[in-house]
Structure 1
Amino acid sequence: MNSLQRPYPLDHTQLLPANWPGAIMQAAAEARSGNLIVIPTDTLYGVACDAFNPEAVRAIYAAKQRPYSKPIPILLADHSDLLRVVRHVPPIAQAFIHQYWPGPLTILLPKHPDLPDEISNNDGVAVRIPNNEVGRAIIRAAGGALAVTSANLTGQEPAETAVDAQNKLAGWVTAVADDGPAPHGAASTILDCTGYELKVLREGPISAQSLLGVK
């Protein structure tokens, strides 16, 4: 599927200011219905869908022209949903979760078997809770776990505003929740906690030096 084969007309994508009555519930309803939406986070705007809907996850790959070899992270609203998406949480990972969630730290953990294969092509899954109340409210109302990655075509600059995300993904997403400019404007730090050795896979707002000092 290429960028010209969008499932909807460009004007079908609705921009929803976060302070509008019903905006959060409308965005969540779109995700629950299997559609792609855009949500704000504390790092960048993200294109999102129900993490347990394989067809919707495949649509993210199509919309972004993203290779299937690049897994899609999962964003949660609350700690209580973590064991729905991971098999277990190693003690060292729990220490990072306690210190940095909600926040711009994505942690790679063992993937729960209930997740569709489309989320990742290996036994790990990248998870975090963003420090953005609007984003978390949408995730919570949509069921607690969304597959989310940056709102842009692969290789493009990621979207830091809702309007930019709408321009990049119009016709692919049905709703864009607008909560103002993303405060960090950079992708989250990724920490691999699946093995015996901690690995920083991507450095973002939280430095590798500060992370590796946490034991």
Structure 2
Amino acid sequence: MEEILDILKNRNTILYPTDTVWGLGCDATNEEAVKKIYQLKNREESKSLIILVSSIEMLEQYVDYIPKKALEILRESEKPTTIIYNNPKGLAANTVASDNTIAIRIPQDDFCIQLIKEFGKPIVSTSANVSGEPTPKSFSEISEAILKNVDYVVNLQQEKVAEKSSTILKIEGDTVIVIRE
């Protein structure tokens, strides 16, 4: 864990297992680190990223307002659910979408929660693939381009297979809009 925390503190990138698919991560509050993620994925910075936080309390530090409906979903959801929030704060500008929103998930994975708690800040979580390529469902499907260029590979659960990414929801008033099932 200490080595991973040093990597994150030094604005570097990690490849790690999440509660969904293998992810590329970095300090979500540091623009330089986030830029490395976009370069790894060969992705335009205009496409926003998913951020992981360890708890509702941490979430409150990075968004102006959490709708009641979002709190209900977070407390009741049994599967990984990412929610899009308005007016993020304290995050790297290049993590925020052009409409001033951010996609945030509280992972349902002990390792991820512990990592975020010990790091003390949110981390980026984007699928470990080059933009346009299929999302790898297992470590063995991650491309050489990613493996060679990421700063650190978390050697944990390399046999893990993920069937799908998280559900992504946007809440407008009392209306829940499903962005990705």
TM over 0.5: yes
Gap regions ≥5 residues in structure 2: none
2:137 alignment partner, one of 156, 160, 171: 160
Give the distance between the partners of 1:154 and 1:62, measured in 2 at CA: 10
Shift of 1:97: 0.9
Letter in 2 for 1:53: N
**Which residue is 1:52 aligned to?**
29
Deviation string 1:165-196 (CA, Å, 9 cap, x unpaired) is: 47341332111112234453211110001455
Aligned to 1:199: 177
- Following superposition of structure 1 onto structure 2, how do residues 29-178 of structure 1 map, counting pairs within 5 Å? 29-100=6-77, 103-120=79-96, 121-165=98-142, 167-177=144-154, 178=156
SS of residue paired to 1:201: strand
Segment drifting more, 45-54 vs 165-174: 165-174
Mapped to 1, the partners of 2:109 and 2:158 lie a distance apart of 11
- Equivalent-residue separation in structure 1 for 2:4 and 2:56 (angstroms): 22
AA in 1 matched with 2:162? H
Alpha-carbon deviations, 1:1-60, whole Å to 9, x = none? xxxxxxxxxxxxxxxxxxxxxxx2211220111000012112101000101001111111
The letter for the 1-side match of 2:158 is G
Q: CA separation in 1, counterparts of 2:56 and 2:70?
A: 13
The aligned amino acid for 2:180 is R
* In structure 2, distance between residues paired with 1:159 and 1:129: 21
Aligned length: 179
Change (3 A) 1:111 1:105: same
**SS at structure 1 position matched to 2:34:** helix
Which one-letter code corresponds to 1:197 in the other structure? Answer: T
Structure 1: 4+ residue segments shifted above 4 A: none
Structure 1: gaps spanning 5 or more residues: 1-23, 204-215
Match in the other structure for 1:19: none
- Map 1:176-187; keep pairs closer than 5 Å: 176-177=153-154, 178-187=156-165
Q: What is the Cα-based RMSD across aligned positions, in Å?
A: 1.9
Partner letter of residue 106 of structure 1? T
Structure (1 or 2) with the larger CA radius of gyration? 1
Which position in structure 1 is the counterpart of 2:5?
28
Matches of 1:162 and 1:139, distance apart in 2: 21
Change (3 A) 1:164 1:129: same
State the 1:70 CA deviation: 1.3
Instruction: Name the CA distance, whole Å, in 2 between partners of 1:39 and 1:111.
Output: 28
